[in-house]
Amino acid sequence: MAPAAEELDRHHKFGYDIVRQMGELGLFGLPFSEEFGGAGGDFLSLCLAIEEISRADTGVGITLEAAVCLGAAPIHDFGTKQQKESWLPDLLAGRKLWAFGLTEPEAGSDAGATKTRAEIRDGKWVVNGAKQFITNCGSHVLESYRKLGWHSSDTHPLSFENCAVPEENLLGERGGGYRQFLRTLLGGRIAIAALSVGLAQACLDASLSYAKERRSFGVPISKHQAVQFKLADMAMETEIARTMVYRAAVTYMNTDGETTDEARMLAAMCKLYASETSKRAADQAVQIHGGYGFMEDYPVARYWRDVKVNEIGEGTSEVQRMLIARLLGC
Ligand SMILES: Cc1cc2nc3c(=O)[nH]c(=O)nc-3n(C[C@H](O)[C@H](O)[C@H](O)COP(=O)(O)OP(=O)(O)OC[C@H]3O[C@@H](n4cnc5c(N)ncnc54)[C@H](O)[C@@H]3O)c2cc1C
C-alpha cells in the first residue's frame, strides 16, 4: 500500500486493486466468525490491521474501518441468520463494501435530528431523504466531494426518492435503529482511533528518518534539542494513544454486544486523544521537515491534510468531550 499511496492521493483514486487484495487476505472478515466467511479473529486484531494500514495510507485505512465497523458489523450484530447468510459472505471477502449513512445535510453531531424516513407501502419500505459525506457508498451515486484529504477513500452524498426496499431487509427490531447505531458507532470510534495511531506513527517514522539526514549548523538536525523534544513528545503521545486504543478495544470485545459506560468512556477518550495526538504529530512532522514539509514531495504534507478529518468523523472532538463529561455525571 505504501508505494501506491502518493499516486492515489495525487489523482484522487480509489485503490480497487488494493481493496481486492485486502479482501483476498481476509482483512474485511477479520473480527467475524468463520461461519459466515470471517477470519475468526477479534476486534483487537482489526484495530491492529487498521493501525498498520493507516501508517501507509489513511484513505485505505478508513475504507477498511468503514466497511467492517460500519458496514458489515451491524449485519453481523443485528441481522437474522438469513440476512447474514445472504449478505455477509460478499462483505467479509471484500467483494462488496457497504456504507453506514447517518449524517444528513442538516444533522451530523445531532444524530437524533435526522429527517430521512421509511414507511411501509404495499409490503415494502419506501425511503425518502438525503445523506451526506458517506464513506464507501459507491461510485455511481451523486458526484464525489472535493476533499482536503483521504483522497483514496470513497465519499459521496446519497439521495433517496421513493426508494423501495423489501420489508424483510429491516435490520434488527422495528424502532430499534437508534440504539443499534449507537452501538455501531462505539466500535467505529475505537477503530478510527487506531487509524489515528497509525498516522501518528507514520509522522514519527518520517520525521525521525528526515531529522537524522538533514543537516544544519554542521550537524544532523536530530542533534538539536528543540527537534529532539518534538520527536520525544511524538513518540510518547503515540504510545499513550496506542495503549488507550488497545485497552478500549479489549473492553469493547469483552462487553460482547452490550454497551457499557466503561466501554463508552474508553471509546470516547481514545478517539479524542488519538485524533488530537495525530494532529499534533502531523503538525510537528511538517515543522521538522521545514520548507520541504510544505511540498507534496514528502509524505508529511499528505499526512497534514489527511489528519484533520480524524477530529471530525465518527463524532467530533467536541462531541467526545460532551460524552466524557456526561459519563462523569455532569
Ligand atoms: C471524509 C468524511 C467521511 C465521512 N463518512 C461518514 C460515513 O461513512 N457515515 C456517516 O454517517 N457520516 C460520515 N461522515 C460525517 C461525520 O461523521 C460528520 O461530519 C460529523 O459527525 C460531524 O457532523 P457535521 O459535519 O454535521 O457537523 P455539525 O454537527 O454541524 O458540527 C459543526 C461543529 O459544531 C460543533 N457542535 C455541534 N453540536 C455541538 C454541541 N452540542 N456542543 C458543542 N459543539 C457542537 C461540532 O463539534 C463541530 O465542530 C464523514 C465525514 C467526512 C468529512
Tens-place pLDDT, residues 165-207: 999 999 999 999 988 988 899 999 999 999 999 999 999 999 9
Are 24 and 119 in contact by the 8 Å Cβ rule? The answer is no
The confidence score (pLDDT) of residue 257 equals 62
Question: For ligand 1, what atom is nearest to the CA of residue 70?
Answer: 8
**Residue minimizing CA distance to atom 16 of ligand 1:** 313
- Residue ranges of the chain with per-residue pLDDT less than 70: 139, 257
* Beta carbons within 10 angstroms of residue 267's beta carbon: 30
* Beta carbons within 10 angstroms of residue 105's beta carbon: 12
The confidence score (pLDDT) of residue 138 equals 85
Cα–Cα distance, 154 to 66 (Å, whole number): 10
Kindly give the distance from the C-alpha atom of residue 265 to the centroid of ligand 1, in angstroms, as a whole number. 19
Cite the active site residues.
Answer: 314
Residue 310 CA, chain-centre distance (Å), reads 8
The confidence score (pLDDT) of residue 178 equals 87
**Residue minimizing CA distance to atom 7 of ligand 1:** 134
Q: What are the DSSP E strand ranges found in 202-288?
A: 215-216, 219-220
Mutate to test the pocket of ligand 1, among 63, 308, 316, 318 (most ligand atoms within 8 A of CB): 316
Read out DSSP for 128-175?
A: EEEEEEEET--SSSSPPP--SS-TTS-EEEEEEEEEEEEGGG--SSTT
